Amino acid sequence: MSSSPLRRKYPVLIACMGEARRPSAREVKSVAKRIMREAFPEREARRQSGTQLYRDMLRAARATLGMGPRSALKQEQDG
């Protein structure tokens, strides 16, 4: 079976959706970094973690992966 162009370009997104599973923290960070690179290509490739922009990209990644906000996840785990 050959992989589709989308599977090659967005492997985490396609894997999580295709397998109907929650992404790991590492996968969320990977998607956030990918969104940042694609949305802000002019930015330096230096580490951005800890910045407001990076936190915003983490929120965007969670939404893209169908996870909702972090606070909702914590309530779900605690409840």
This model's pTM is above 0.85:
no
Res. 77 pLDDT band, cuts 50 70 90: very low
Place of tokens 């985490």: 12
Rg (CA), the chain: 14
Give the pLDDT of residue 46.
Answer: 59
pLDDT value of position 45: 52
Which pLDDT band, with edges at 50, 70 and 90, does 10 fall under? confident
For residues 72 and 54, the answer to whether their CB atoms sit within 8 Å is no
